């Protein structure tokens, strides 16, 4: 079955899908994106993803290419046309196509919208989470507006490749004060010896992860203690557990940081329980 992409008003064969060479996303990384999990055919935490998408657009003064109702239809149609039951749907919006010029283009230029969807192997993801992942640390080198889900991901790409080359899955950024901000494409968490879940406050230095927000809600409903505060790599190494969250990773245990085991070097029970129960607490938006 050939894959289908939505590109600026049309559903086209994925292999033939293209944007113009003067799309501002291509030339300036002048755009934003979202990744939403698809599970059993439903969009997970769609409302939170769309709220963040609108915020990212607003922060960059990019117009919404269509209203929310229409966008939801495009998301479902793209998932449906690709026959995705478990996987992701990806949304990218750029400031549009215009002659290369740093200034914003005239108002007549419409923002560009691309939506793709692809399947993921759930069994493989579960096996990966059951094994846990390793992370490395690296100095924070991104711009301060990481709260905007911009497609300008070059530092993230480099950090994640560095992790891969080191046999790890994720790189945790460490800010100038020695505190972990987040991962290249995930939020960072630890579980203290007292069983408190700790994750950096969303005010600065991190993307306001949707999975992070849902895990906070879930932990509170399960009467677990959550502290939104920054932590250091040393604290994380000495913690009982560590884990990462993202729409693509859900809750994934971290078993080593910079080559040193976290806890007993195996996925921790708290992270595994949060992963197992995540979808009881996340919002399911059916088609
Ligand atoms: N990444 N931090 C960063 C830098 C991210 O890129 C992401 C998501 C997250 C987790 O956010 P959420 O829980 O809303 O997925 C945190 C997506 C999945 C990606 O770039 O593929």
pLDDT in tens, 87-120: 999 999 999 999 999 999 999 999 999 999 999 9
Q: Does domain 125-285 have CATH number 3.20.10.10?
A: yes
CA 23/CA 27 separation, integer angstroms: 6
Most informative mutation of 141, 169, 185 for ligand 1 (most atoms within 8 A of CB): 185
* 149 labelled catalytic: yes
- Computed from CA positions of residues 229, 230, 233, 234, in that sequence, does the dihedral angle turn out positive or negative? negative
pLDDT at 1: 67
- Annotated catalytic residue, options 69, 134, 149, 164: 149
pLDDT at 2: 80
How far is the centre of ligand 1, averaged over its atoms, from the C-alpha of 147 (Å)?
A: 10
Strands 226-228 and 241-246: unpaired
Cα pseudo-dihedral 98, 99, 100, 104, rounded to 10: -50
Tokens of 192: 């203290």
% of the chain exceeding 70 in pLDDT: 99
CA 171/CA 243 separation, integer angstroms: 12
Protein residue with least CA distance to atom 3, ligand 1? 185
Please list, in sequence order, all residues whose beta carbon lies within 8 angstroms of the beta carbon of residue 285, skipping any fewer than 6 positions away.
42, 43, 44, 46, 47, 72
How far is the centre of ligand 1, averaged over its atoms, from the C-alpha of 216 (Å)?
A: 16
List, by residue range, all CATH 3.30.470.10 domains of the chain: 4-120
How far is the centre of ligand 1, averaged over its atoms, from the C-alpha of 191 (Å)?
A: 20
Strands 250-257 and 133-139: parallel
The tens digit of pLDDT for each residue in 225-240 reads 999 999 999 999 999 9
Please list, in sequence order, all residues whose beta carbon lies within 8 angstroms of the beta carbon of residue 99, skipping any fewer than 6 positions away.
22, 105
Instruction: State the CATH class of domain 4-120.
Output: alpha beta
CA 166/CA 168 separation, integer angstroms: 6
pLDDT at 287: 62
Question: Does an H or E element contain 261, and which?
Answer: strand 260-261
DSSP for residue 237: H
Start-to-end C-alpha separation, the chain: 21
List, by residue range, all CATH 3.20.10.10 domains of the chain: 125-285
Most informative mutation of 91, 144, 187 for ligand 1 (most atoms within 8 A of CB): 187
Ligand 1 binding pocket (C-beta < 6 A) is 35, 156, 182, 185-187, 207, 209-212, 245-248
DSSP for residue 15: G
How far is the centre of ligand 1, averaged over its atoms, from the C-alpha of 151 (Å)?
A: 11
Intervals of the chain under pLDDT 50: none
Protein residue with least CA distance to atom 5, ligand 1? 185
């Amino acid at each position: 079955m050939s894959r289908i992409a939505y590109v600026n008003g049309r559903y086209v064969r994925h292999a033939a899908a293209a944007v113009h060479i003067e799309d501002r996303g291509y030339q300036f990384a002048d755009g934003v994106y979202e990744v939403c999990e698809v599970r059993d055919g439903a969009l997970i935490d769609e409302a939170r993803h769309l709220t963040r998408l609108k915020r990212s657009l607003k922060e960059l003064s990019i117009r919404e290419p269509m209203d929310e109702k229409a966008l939801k239809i495009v998301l479902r149609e793209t998932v449906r046309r690709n026959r995705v039951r478990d996987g992701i749907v990806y949304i990218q919006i750029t400031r549009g196509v215009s002659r290369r010029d740093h200034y914003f283009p005239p108002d007549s230029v419409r923002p560009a919208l691309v939506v793709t969807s692809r399947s993921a192997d759930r069994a493989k993801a579960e096996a990966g989470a059951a094994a846990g992942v390793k992370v490395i640390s690296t100095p924070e080198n991104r711009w301060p507006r990481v709260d905007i889900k911009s497609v300008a991901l070059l530092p993230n790409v480099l950090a994640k490749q560095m992790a891969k080359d080191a046999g790890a899955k994720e790189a945790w950024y460490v800010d100038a004060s020695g505190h972990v901000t987040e991962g290249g494409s995930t939020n960072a968490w630890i579980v203290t010896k007292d069983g408190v879940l700790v994750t950096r406050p969303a005010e600065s230095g991190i993307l306001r992860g949707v999975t992070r927000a849902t895990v906070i809600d879930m932990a509170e409903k399960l009467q677990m203690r959550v502290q939104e505060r920054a932590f250091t790599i040393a604290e994380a190494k000495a913690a009982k557990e560590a884990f990462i969250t993202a729409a693509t990773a859900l809750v994934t245990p971290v078993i080593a940081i910079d080559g040193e085991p976290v806890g007993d070097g195996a996925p921790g029970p708290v992270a595994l329980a949060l992963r197992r129960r995540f979808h009881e607490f996340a919002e399911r938006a059916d088609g």
